[in-house]
Amino acid sequence: MRRDPAGRGLWGASLGGLISLYLALEHPETYGVVVSHSGCFTAHPNELGRIKPNTVNAPEYLLERLLQQKPKNLRLSLDTGTLEWLTGPNRRMAAAAQDLGLYHQYREYSSGHTWVTWKNALPEALEWVLSKVG
C-alpha cells in the first residue's frame, strides 16, 4: 500500500533545508511537503561530501532545477533571517515558488543563520504545515 505524499514531508535547516527540498524534488512520489529554515540553496547536493562545500557564492543549482522541472504537488515553507548571507537565495527560491504557482509560504526574521532563528520560526512553520494537512 502506497502512502499519499501530501501527508509526508521533510524538514531541515541550512544544508538540511537544501537536502530536504532536493529529496522532495527527486522523490515526488514519496514527499509532498518541505519546510526549509535558511536553506543553503547555494550548495550543490552532490558536493556535500567535500570537507568545505561552496556555500557562499556558488550557482543556485536547486533554483535552476526547480524552474526547469516544476513539481506538481509540492507544498513549500521557506524562512530565513535577514542578517545572513542566504537571505538573497531564499528570497529567489520563494519568488520562484510564487512564479510557478506552488503552494508555499515565505517568512523573514530579523536575525541570523542560527538555531535561535530556526527555533523561533518553528511554531509558524509547524502551524502552516498542520493547517494544510488533510
pLDDT at 1: 42
Q: Which domains does the chain have, with CATH numbers?
A: 5-131 (3.40.50.1820)
pLDDT at 131: 84
Q: What pTM, to 2 d.p., does this model score?
A: 0.88
Q: What are the distances in angstroms from CA 90 to CA 3, 63, 76, 107?
A: 30, 9, 12, 10
pLDDT at 118: 94
pLDDT tens per residue across span 18-74? 999 999 999 999 999 999 999 999 887 776 665 555 566 677 889 999 999 889 889
Reported as a pLDDT band with limits 50, 70 and 90, residue 6 is confident
pLDDT tens per residue across span 31-46? 999 999 999 998 877 7
Neighbouring-strand partners of residue 36 = 12, 78
- What are the DSSP calls for the chain, one per residue? -PPPGGG-EEEEETHHHHHHHHHHHH-TTT--EEEEES--TTS-GGGTTSSS---SSS--HHHHHHHHS--SS-EEEEEEESSSTTHHHHHHHHHHHHHHT-EEEEEEESS-SSHHHHHHHHHHHHHHHHHT--
pLDDT at 43: 82
pLDDT at 7: 78
pLDDT tens per residue across span 89-102? 999 999 999 999 99
Q: Are 21 and 76 in contact (CB under 8 A)?
A: yes
1-10, 50-59, 121-130: lowest mean pLDDT where? 50-59
